[in-house]
């Protein structure tokens, strides 16, 4: 019942969005009159109508002829629930949204950095955790993303909003290019080749001075929001956002903007990863990680499967890079050393390979803890190393063990059992 109301409300909301400009704004003479009640009434009618039509479709037999089989057929595959309870997810979301209003400027910069590392961790998690391809050069894709924005702006005045998809695409392309030669490699050999690839990208950026500026780096402008700038005075030919809204200037605005944008991207990515795990491609990654020979004999094309993992992971890395460039306002090759790759890999390993929640937790711990322990910053790397050793001793599978959605095919006798499926907690 509630699901149906919810569905009807969503249809109503879409109707409202569409109808508001069409019916709400009426041209009269040379003026536009707004009739805000009209779209509301229409949207309400659509909502209620959708609800009753959907109810009729299910409850009145002869209506099925028009309703199609969707209402009557049972789903072919049952997917067990996995992951944390909705309550925890809501709580985490509330916390994330309230955060900028609680912590100060410094806290915000740490939070943004943590979000970037969450993004990178989740990206590498697709490659290492889900597809089981050990990638030690992930920072290369991060660099590709960052330099796409930096050089794109430098040469062609590319905006942040264009650099975001372009950086992702370019990084994904680099991921595929790297993927091709390493298709035959496994484990250690793959790790070495990816390590080399990461270094190649960094050295090219460092030495191709004519294009990339070499070690001097490239400066980057801060993104604008629909042409509104986050500067005190307009520098990029737009209007400063505080003037537009008539509020006083605060340098916090840009941090809050970047934070929420990143939060949205991370949220979308989490949803995407959850979906991917349930899709056949996610299954294929999992199968490939466990056994390549069996995979191929089952008709899975290992080339597409591996390249998709590399490409998707790299795309996420590229998005992280664009955000990093925007945050720093400046990029140079020294941000993309092997240490970064190792750090991101540490996040994935500490969090538990393949576990989304684990990776998020580990990324937060590994970015927030060093900030809290500034006094001991000389021992930062040492403490990460000790943490790794301790983890390997006590929790070799990471902070949080991977929980995977499990699938159940319905069988003739088991139709009922599938309906009463227990939550898929599968410790591996």
Partner 1 sequence: MNESLPITAVADDPLLAVKEISAGYGAIEALHGLSLQVNRGEIVALIGANGAGKSSLLMTICANPPARRGEIRYLGQEITRLATHQIARLGIAHVPEGRRVFAGMTVEENLAMGLMALANQPVLSAAEQPGVVEDLERVYHLFPRLRERARQRAGTLSGGEQQMLAIGRALMSRPRLLLLDEPSLGLAPQIMGRIFATLRAIVEEGTTIFLVEQNANQALQLADRAYVLVNGCITLSGPGQELLTSPEIRKAYLGGH
Reference 281, options 307, 256, 259, 250; nearest CA is: 307
Distance between CA atoms of residues 306 and 194, nearest Å: 14
Interface size with partner 1, residues (CB under 8 A): 33
Q: Looking at 95, 268, 298, 389, which residue binds partner 1 (CB under 8 A)?
A: 298
**Which C-beta is closer to partner 1: that of 28 or that of 74?**
74
Beta carbons within 8 Å of 320's beta carbon, 6+ residues apart:
116, 119, 120, 123, 142, 145
- Chain centre distance of CA 293: 31
- 353 makes contact with partner 1 (CB under 8 A): no
CB of 297 to partner 1, least distance (A): 4
- 31 makes contact with partner 1 (CB under 8 A): no
Binding positions for partner 1, 384-413, rule CB under 8 A: 404, 406-413
- The residue to which tokens 């056949």 are assigned: 280
Distance between CA atoms of residues 357 and 55, nearest Å: 38
Residue 371 contacts residue 411 (beta carbons within 8 Å): no
The SS3 of residue 349 is: helix
Q: Looking at 35, 59, 232, 296, which residue binds partner 1 (CB under 8 A)?
A: 296
CB of 312 to partner 1, least distance (A): 13
CB of 360 to partner 1, least distance (A): 22
Work out the burial of residue 256: count CB atoms within 10 Å of its CB; fewer than 13 is exposed, 13-18 middle, 19 or more buried.
Answer: middle
**Which C-beta is closer to partner 1: that of 232 or that of 275?**
275
Distance between CA atoms of residues 19 and 40, nearest Å: 9
Which regions of 2-95 does DSSP assign to beta strands (E)? 25-28, 31-34, 78-79
Which range binds partner 1 by CB under 8 A, 27-35, 106-114, 238-246, 285-293? 285-293
- 301 makes contact with partner 1 (CB under 8 A): yes
Binding positions for partner 1, 70-89, rule CB under 8 A: 76-77
Q: Looking at 43, 127, 168, 300, which residue binds partner 1 (CB under 8 A)?
A: 300
Binding site for partner 1 (CB under 8 A): 76-77, 279-281, 283-284, 286-287, 290-291, 293-294, 296-302, 304-305, 404, 406-413, 426, 428
């Amino acid at each position: 019942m509630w699901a149906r109301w919810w569905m009807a409300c969503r249809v109503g909301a879409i109707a409202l969005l569409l109808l508001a400009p069409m019916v709400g704004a009426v041209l009269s003479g040379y003026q536009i009159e707004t009739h805000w009640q009209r779209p509301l009434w229409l949207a309400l009618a659509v909502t209620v109508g959708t609800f009753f039509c959907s109810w009729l479709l299910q409850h009145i037999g002869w209506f099925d002829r028009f309703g199609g089989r969707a209402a009557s057929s049972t789903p072919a595959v049952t997917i067990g629930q996995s992951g944390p309870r909705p309550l925890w997810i809501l709580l985490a979301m509330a916390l994330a949204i309230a955060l900028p209003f609680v912590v100060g400027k410094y806290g915000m910069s740490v939070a943004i950095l943590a979000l970037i590392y969450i993004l990178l961790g989740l990206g590498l998690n697709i490659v290492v955790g889900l597809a089981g391809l050990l990638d030690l050069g992930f920072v290369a894709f991060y660099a590709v993303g960052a330099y796409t924005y930096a050089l794109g702006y430098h040469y062609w005045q590319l905006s942040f909003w264009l650099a975001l998809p372009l950086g992702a695409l370019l990084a994904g392309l680099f991921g595929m290019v790297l993927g091709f030669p390493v298709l035959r490699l496994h484990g250690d050999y793959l790790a070495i080749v990816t390590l080399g690839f990461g270094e190649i990208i960094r050295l090219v950026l460092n030495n191709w001075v004519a294009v990339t500026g070499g070690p001097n780096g490239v400066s980057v402008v801060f993104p604008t929001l629909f042409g509104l700038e986050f500067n005190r005075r307009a520098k990029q030919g737009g209007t400063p956002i505080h003037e537009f809204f008539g509020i006083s200037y605060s340098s916090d605005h840009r941090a809050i903007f970047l934070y929420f944008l990143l939060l949205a991207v991370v949220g979308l990515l989490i949803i995407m990863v959850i979906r991917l795990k349930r899709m056949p491609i996610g299954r294929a990654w999992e199968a490939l990680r466990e056994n390549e020979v069996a995979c191929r004999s089952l008709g899975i094309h290992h080339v597409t499967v591996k390249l998709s993992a590399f490409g998707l992971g790299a795309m996420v890395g590229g998005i992280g890079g664009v955000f990093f460039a925007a945050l720093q306002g400046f990029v140079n090759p020294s941000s993309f050393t092997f240490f970064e790759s190792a750090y991101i890999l540490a996040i994935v390993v500490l969090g538990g390979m393949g576990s989304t929640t684990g990776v998020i937790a580990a990324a937060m711990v590994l970015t927030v803890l060093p900030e809290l322990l500034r006094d001991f910053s000389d021992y930062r790397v040492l403490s990460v190393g000790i943490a790794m050793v301790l983890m390997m001793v006590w929790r070799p599978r990471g902070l949080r063990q991977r929980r995977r959605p499990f699938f159940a095919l319905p069988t003739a006798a088991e139709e009922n059992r599938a309906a009463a499926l227990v939550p898929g907690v599968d410790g591996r």
